Amino acid sequence: MRMTETDKIRLLLQKSVPTALSSSWGEAAAGAALAFHRALPAYAETALVPLSALARSLDLGGIYVKDESTRFGLNAFKGLGGSFAIHTILEKTGPKGGCPQTAISPALPEFVTATDGNHGKGVAWAAALFGSKAHVYMPRGSAEARRQAILDAGAAEAVITDLNYDGAVALADRQAKEHGWILVQDTSWDGYEEIPARIVQGYLTLAAEAAAVLDAQGTPPTHVFLQAGVGAMAGGVAAYLRQHYGPSLKVVTVEPEEAACLFTSWQAGDGLPHTVGGHPQTIMAGLNCGTPCGVTWPVLRDQCFGMAAVSDDLTRAGMRRYAHPLGDDRPVVSGESGAVTLGFLMAAASDPVLRRALGLDASSRILLISTEGDTDPEMYRRIVDGPSAP
């Protein structure tokens, strides 16, 4: 493993290990998730936005951004996972379980989760859609706007706790056991794998949609940069895309430097997931997670070409460039956890050492996922219209 470092980026690189990928994240699984989501009343495919002027200015072949801010009206991609998991759970409870309902049914089980915001909103929305209730616990420092959005999406309660993210997950697990609620958590650990695996399968919809557009255009990606909290989204999307495009696709995860649990685990070199403890500070709330997701960690460990740990400045730069694009490029509303991969790409493509290390050149086509819109609208406006906005 090699380390390359600048003042804003730490980058680990390895030759990816040629291990077999699970069919749980393959074409059939993605097809099932996509068919389920397409049947929902709120479904509309999200756009794949080309940033051609920016690609030219960075001497790259193309940049393609999957804009998840419009997903189900939830301002983030996360509803894909919660809805697919809740559907599969309720499907087992009766003939109408797991289908959209017009009223809350007391006969259905209730759900519980921990979240920085987006996953909880997705769970609250999906529970209400299928006629059930959700209870949501948030880590210390969570934005009030995000808590309110969860209540508006249908949660029975949404509480900002005094715990870090891992602590909030443990609380949700205890509450599930105490009240007989079902834990729908977007990360997994020993003995809690089935529901998280369904959540990851739900995320495959966005990867399958993006691949279909890239294939129709004849622009297969050479690189995909994926932001990661616990790495559930990154692991699922990486596994699908490496099966779809083959092992030459370079996958790089990007995490906040204070909460870089995948990076730290990779660096440890023992093949095991490691926890970053304490109360990490980062504006990337959705990525502020201390422990890798158990079911996707082996995928990322073996399939990644690189893992980066980066400063908050990079996501601010990405947010501003999305909001104020070059030339004829279309603006994208991208929040703190959505824009970091663009900030990373701009910094890496402009730095000769990082550019070479990542194999970026004029023929590279990079796929990015803007995973959220302005989920904290006040912070968003401060950053994109702030003093150093272009």
Considering only CA atoms, which of 68, 269, 256 is closest in space to residue 165?
A: 256
Rg (CA), the chain: 19
Directed axis angle between helix 79-91 and helix 118-129, to 10°?
Answer: 40
The site map against ligand PLP for 329-358 (x = CB under 6 A) is: --------xx--------------------
Alpha-carbon distance values, 119 to 2, 47, 230 (Å): 34, 21, 12
Distance, in Å, from the CA atom of 257 to the CA atom of 352, rounded to the nearest integer, reads 22
Going by C-beta distance under 8 Å and a sequence separation of 6 or more, which residues neighbour residue 38?
none
Does residue number 320 form part of the binding site for ligand PLP (CB under 6 A)? Answer: no
When the beta carbons of 131 and 338 are compared against ligand PLP, the nearer one is 338
Q: Phi, psi at residue 63, to the nearest 5°?
A: -130, 130
Residue with tokens 């272009």: 390
Our CB check for ligand PLP shows the closer of 340 and 360 to be 340
Residue type, 30: A
- Number of C-alpha atoms within 13 angstroms, CB side, residue 230? 23
**Residue 227 CB, nearest distance to ligand PLP (Å)?**
5
Could you tell me the smallest distance in angstroms from the CB atom of residue 8 to ligand PLP? 19
CB of 188 to ligand PLP, least distance (A): 11
Q: To the nearest whole angstrom, how small is the minimum distance from the Cβ of residue 239 to ligand PLP?
A: 13
In the set 8, 66, 67, 116, the catalytic residue is 116
Find the binder of ligand PLP among 30, 234, 252, 319 (CB under 6 A): 234
| Closest residue to ligand PLP: CB criterion | 286
DSSP helix/strand/coil, 360: coil
- Which one from 8, 66, 78, 133 is the annotated catalytic residue? 78
Contact of 130 with 86, CB cutoff 8 Å? yes
Site string for ligand PLP, 370-389 (x = CB under 6 A): -xx-----------------
Rule CB under 6 A: which of 211-230 touch ligand PLP?
Answer: 227-230
- Closest listed residue to residue 33, CA positions, set 203, 156, 155, 162: 203
- Residue closer to ligand PLP by CB (options 54, 76) is 76
The nearer residue to ligand PLP, 211 or 233, going by C-beta atoms, is 233
Provide, rounded to whole angstroms, the least separation between the CB of residue 282 and ligand PLP: 12
116 catalytic per annotation = yes
Our CB check for ligand PLP shows the closer of 241 and 289 to be: 289
Name the phi and psi angles at 307, rounded to 5. -135, 130
E-strand ranges in 189-319 read 223-227, 250-256, 306-310
Query: From the CB of 207, what's the least distance to ligand PLP, in Å?
Result: 13
Q: Going residue by residue from 174 to 203, which x/- string records binding to ligand PLP, judged by CB under 6 A?
A: ------------x-----------------
Residues across the chain: 390
Kindly tell me which of 52 and 341 has the beta carbon lying closer to ligand PLP.
Answer: 341
The least CB distance from residue 306 to ligand PLP, in Å, is 16
Per-position x/- string for 277-316, each x denoting binding to ligand PLP as judged by CB under 6 A, each - no binding: ---------xx-x---------------------------
Residue pair 345/62 in contact (Cβ under 8 Å)? The answer is no
Which residues make Cβ contacts (< 8 Å) with residue 98, sequence separation at least 6?
86, 87, 88, 89, 90, 91, 130
Please report the sign of the dihedral spanned by the C-alpha atoms of residue 36, residue 38, residue 43, residue 45. positive
Of the pair 311, 370, the CB lying nearest ligand PLP is at 370
**DSSP alpha helix (H) spans, 246-376:** 261-268, 297-303, 312-323, 340-349, 352-358
Query: Which of 58/200 has CB closer to ligand PLP?
Result: 200
Residue 78 annotated among the catalytic residues of the structure: yes
Contact 126, 83 (CB under 8 A): yes
Q: How far is the CB of 119 from ligand PLP (least distance, A)?
A: 5
The residues in 112-151 that bind ligand PLP, with binding defined as CB under 6 A, are 116, 118-119
* Active site (catalytic) residues: 78, 116
Q: Which residues bind ligand PLP (CB under 6 A)?
A: 76, 78, 116, 118-119, 186, 227-234, 286-287, 289, 337-338, 371-372
